[in-house]
C-alpha cells in the first residue's frame, strides 16, 4: 500500500484533531470526502463505472462471458475479480510491486460480492450444469489516496448496476443437443438487481476513535482498521480486520455500529445518483477521465 511519511508532530496533530472530531481537511469522523461516480465509461465492457474519492480514482469494468457453472453449485453463475494496481496510481506498483495488494484486494472482493445474498447468482445461470454467465470484474487503480476498499466497492456496485447482459436462450433439438441462441437486437439485454449489493466501509482506528474514509496521512497514524460490508438495510455481510495492531472487542462493536450507520447512509444517495444518470439515457453528458 502506498505510504507517506508522517512526522511525530504531524501524527500528534492528526490524533488530537480526531479526538475532537475535526480532521485535517475539516471533515468530522464519519464524513466521506467528495465522491464522483460515472457509469458506462468503457464502451467495450458490458458494464463499467469510474469512481473518484478525494484523490483516489478507480475504474471498474465488467465483462460477461459464457462459462461452465462450478460443480458444487451447478445452478449458479459466478463472479471473478481481478485488481490491477497500475503503476499510474503510485510508483511503488511498478513491475510486480502491486501484485500482492492486488491479490489481497481481489480475494476480499470475492468474499464480499460473490454470494447469492448480494447478487442473484441463480439468475446468471443459463442452463444448469452447462452454461452460466461469468462476470469478470476488472478493477483498475488509477490513483491511490487512501480508502481503496470503499472506492472500489462503490465502483463495483455502480458497474453492476450499469451491466447489460445480452439476453440468450437455450435452443434444444429432439436429440437433446443444446445450444445458446443470441437475440439479434443489441438492446435486448438483462439487467442485474443491485439492491442487495453491499458497500464496503473501512473504519480506521486512530487513537481512541475511529474514522471513515481515512486519507493516507490518517492511515499512517492508525495501527488497525476494520472493513465492513454493509447492505442498504444495514446488514453486515462481511467483516475483516486489516493492519498490524489489535482491536479490543468493545471498539470492534463500536466500529461495526458506526460502519452500519455510515454504510446505510452511503447507499441511498448512490442509488439515487445511479438512477438519475440512467434516466438521462443518451442525453447524458459524458465526463470521462479528462473531465
Partner 1 sequence: MLKSKTFVKKTRAGGVMKIVREHYLRDDIWCGSEACRECKQESTVLQADACIESNLCPYPHYVVPDTNVVLHQIDVLEDPVIRNVIILQTVLQEVRHRSAPVYKRLKDMIQAKEKLVYTFTNEHHRETYIEREQGESANDRNDRAIRVAVKWYSQHLKADGLKVVLLTDDQGNKEKAEENSLVVYKFDEYVKNLTANPELVDRLALSKDDKAEIISSKVLFPEHLPLSKIQSGIKSGTFLQGTFKASRDNYLEATVFVQGDGAESTEVLIQGLQNLNRAVHQDVVAVQLLPRNQWVSPSSVVLQDDGAAKDDDMDEDEEEKALRISAAEAAGKPTGKIVGIIKRNWRPFCGMLNVSQIKESTRHLFTPADRRIPRIRIETRQASTLVGQRIMVAIDGWPKNSRYPNGHFVRSLGSAGEKGTEEAVLLLEHDVPHQAFSQNVLSFLPKMPWGITPEDMVKRQDLRHLTVCSVDPPGCTDIDDALHCRELENGNLEVGVHIADVSHFIRPGNALDKEAANRGTTVYLCGKRIDMVPELLSSNLCSLRSNVERLAFSCIWEMNHNAEILKTQFTKSVINSKASLTYAEAQMRIDDTNKKDDITESLRGLNKLAKILKRKRIENGALTLSSLEVRFHIDSETHDPIDLQTKELMETNSMVEEFMLLANISVAQKIYDEFPDCALLRKHPAPPPSNYDILLKAAKSMNVEIHTDSAKALADSLDVAKVDGFSYFNTLLRILATRCMMQAVYFCSGMDSDFHHYGLASPIYTHFTSPIRRYADIIVHRLLAVAIGADITYPDLMDKHKQSALCNNLNYRHKMSQYAQRASVAFHTQLFFKSRGILNEEGFVLFVRKNAIIVLIPKFGLEGTVFFDSKDKAGPSLVFDEEGPTLKVEQTTFHIFDKVKVTISLDDSNIQHQKIRMALTEPVIPGVSVAAPDVEPQAKKPKVDH
Please give the residue ranges that form the binding site for partner 1 (CB under 8 A).
43-46, 63-66, 166, 168, 171, 173-175, 177, 179-182, 184-187
Nearest alpha carbon to residue 113 among 50, 63, 160: 160
The Cα 205–Cα 111 span in angstroms is 23
- Determine contact, residues 135/61, Cβ cutoff 8 Å: no
Of 180 and 223, CB closest to partner 1: 180
Shortest distance, position 46 Cβ to partner 1, whole Å: 6
Instruction: Name 64's bridge partners.
Output: 135
Smallest gap from residue 78 Cβ to partner 1 (A): 16
Least Å from the CB of residue 131 to partner 1: 8
> How many angstroms separate the Cα of 220 from the Cα of each of 4, 148, 152, 186, 204?
7, 15, 20, 49, 10
Q: Which is nearer to partner 1, 166 or 207 (CB)?
A: 166
Q: Which residues pair with 51 in a beta bridge?
A: 37, 58
Asked if 14 contacts 206 with a C-beta cutoff of 8 angstroms, the reply is yes
How near is the Cβ of 163 to partner 1 at its closest, in Å? 11
Three state DSSP letters for 35-84: EEEEECCCCCCCEEEEEEECCEEEEEEEEEEEECCCCCCCCCCEEEEEEE
- CB-nearer residue toward partner 1: 8 or 173: 173
Nearest distance in Å: CB 277, partner 1: 18
Beta strand spans in 189-277 (E): 189-191, 199-206, 209-212, 224-230, 236-242
The whole-angstrom separation of Cα 63 and Cα 160 is 10
Contact 15, 21 (CB under 8 A): no
Instruction: Pick the closer one to partner 1 by CB: 192 or 258.
Output: 192
Minimum CB–partner distance for residue 47 and partner 1 (Å): 11
Residue whose CB is less far from partner 1, 94 or 179? 179
Q: Which is nearer to partner 1, 176 or 249 (CB)?
A: 176
Rounded Cα distance, 176 and 223, in Å: 60
Quick check: helix, strand or coil at residue 129?
coil
Smallest separation, CB 68 to partner 1 (Å): 11
Angle between helices 148-162 and 249-280 (to 10 degrees): 40
Neighbours of 76 (CB within 10 A): 20
Counting every residue, how long is the chain?
291
Q: Judged by CB, which is closer to partner 1: 175, or 285? A: 175
- Give the nearer residue to partner 1 in terms of CB position, either 96 or 286: 286
- Minimum distance from CB of 133 to partner 1 (Å)? 9
Amino acid at each position: 500500500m502506498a505510504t507517506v511519511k508522517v512526522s511525530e508532530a504531524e501524527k500528534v496533530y492528526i490524533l488530537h484533531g480526531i479526538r475532537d472530531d475535526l480532521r485535517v481537511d475539516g471533515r468530522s469522523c464519519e464524513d466521506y470526502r467528495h465522491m464522483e461516480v460515472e457509469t458506462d465509461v468503457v464502451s467495450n465492457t458490458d458494464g463499467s463505472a469510474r469512481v473518484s474519492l478525494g484523490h483516489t480514482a478507480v475504474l471498474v469494468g465488467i465483462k460477461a462471458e459464457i462459462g461452465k457453472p462450478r460443480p458444487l453449485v451447478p445452478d449458479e453463475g459466478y463472479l471473478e475479480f481481478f485488481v490491477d494496481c497500475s503503476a499510474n496510481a503510485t510508483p511503488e506498483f511498478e513491475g510486480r510491486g502491486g501484485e500482492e495488494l492486488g491479490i489481497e484486494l481481489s480475494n476480499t472482493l470475492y468474499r464480499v460480492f460473490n454470494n447469492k445474498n448480494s447478487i442473484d447468482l441463480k439468475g446468471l445461470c443459463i442452463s444448469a450444469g452447462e452454461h452460466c454467465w461469468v462476470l469478470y470484474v476488472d478493477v483498475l487503480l488509477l490513483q491511490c489516496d487512501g480508502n481503496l476498499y470503499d472506492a472500489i466497492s462503490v465502483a463495483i456496485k455502480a458497474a453492476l448496476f450499469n451491466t447489460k447482459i445480452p439476453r440468450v436462450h437455450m435452443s434444444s433439438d429432439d436429440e437433446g443437443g443444446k445450444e445458446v441462441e443470441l437475440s439479434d437486437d443489441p438492446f435486448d439485454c438483462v439487467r442485474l438487481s443491485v439492491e442487495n449489493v453491499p458497500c464496503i466501509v473501512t473504519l480506521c482506528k486512530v487513537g481512541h476513535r475511529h474514522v471513515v474514509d481515512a486519507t493516507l496521512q490518517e492511515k499512517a497514524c492508525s495501527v488497525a482498521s476494520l472493513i465492513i460490508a454493509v447492505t442498504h438495510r444495514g446488514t453486515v455481510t462481511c467483516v475483516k480486520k486489516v493492519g498490524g495492531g489489535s482491536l479490543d472487542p468493545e471498539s470492534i462493536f463500536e466500529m461495526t455500529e458506526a460502519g452500519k450507520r455510515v454504510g446505510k447512509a452511503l447507499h441511498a444517495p448512490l442509488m439515487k445518483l445511479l438512477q438519475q444518470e440512467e434516466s438521462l439515457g443518451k442525453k447524458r453528458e459524458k465526463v470521462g477521465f479528462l473531465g
